[in-house]
Amino acid sequence: MATTDASVQLIRNATILLDIDDTTFLVDPMFTPQGEMPTVTESPGVPDFLTTANQKRNPLVPLPDVDLDYDAVVVTHRHPDHWDEAAIEELDADVPLFCQPEEADEFTDEGFTDVRPVDDETTFNGITIHRTPGQHGHGELAEGMAPVSGFVFEGEETVYLAGDTIWYDSVEETLDAFDPDLVVLNGGEAQFDQGEPITMGIEDITAVREATDAEIVVVHMEAINHCLLSREELRAETEDVHVPEDGERFSL
């Protein structure tokens, strides 16, 4: 299903199919049916003191009917809205799986046999894959949500997948270093009642828009109960930013 140009198809939340040259990457697979995960504050790894504006069960929406055909998997980090039990059950054990070095052993323990931690950079099917920094929030909350990563894919086109991060110096430095053709941002302005947002909101996305002439696609919206920024609000408050619906594809 891959094309000669770079494209991104949103599945749901941060789960996307990323086509570069003749290779398709499945990114951050979360396959749990609608409503079968707990509210985010009851998820593993979330500190007990955090609360949210609502207690809806996740995911908030169903998976769209999309053909999941891919060559490799990329996991930016193992939070349950990016990697879930349903993905563990559905993916082939021998699929090439790219991840953060800190989390490689956990994938191996789950039975995956071709785990490829990316320390700095690696290659796959002629595409160079760079791991880039991310900051999942502000202050102590960001420290507790770490580690998270982004990835840059260099083929005929260059794609920067920022991952769960806010706008900060390292995002700007990555844009300057790689001059991508396409940038995929995790929006939604995920927010607990305590602290500042932990993913990008309107101001963050506007800052990215001002820092690059790349095409920008924003995902990670309207699927998890603490992602409070809607697609409608984001479209109304930004210019020249693509905000796809679940199942929708954007191509360069």
The per-residue pLDDT string of the chain (252 residues; one tens digit each, 9 = 90 and over) reads 444 589 999 999 999 999 999 999 999 999 999 999 999 998 877 778 889 999 999 999 999 999 999 999 999 999 999 999 999 999 999 999 999 999 999 999 999 999 999 999 999 999 999 999 999 999 988 898 889 999 999 999 999 999 999 999 999 999 999 999 999 999 999 999 999 999 999 999 999 999 999 999 999 999 999 999 999 999 999 999 999 999 999 999
Q: Which of 201, 166, 174 is CA-nearest to residue 187?
A: 201
pLDDT at residue number 102: 97
Cβ–Cβ < 8 Å for 246, 176: no
Cβ–Cβ < 8 Å for 65, 245: no
Number of other residues whose CB lies within 10 A of the CB of residue 225: 21
CA distance 13 to 248: 12
- C-alpha to C-alpha distances, 220 to 23, 87, 117, 164, nearest whole angstrom: 23, 17, 23, 9
Number of other residues whose CB lies within 10 A of the CB of residue 252: 15
Strands 15-20 and 127-133, bridge-based pairing:
unpaired
Task: Work out the widest C-alpha separation in the chain, in whole angstroms.
Answer: 48
Has this prediction a pTM greater than 0.85?
yes
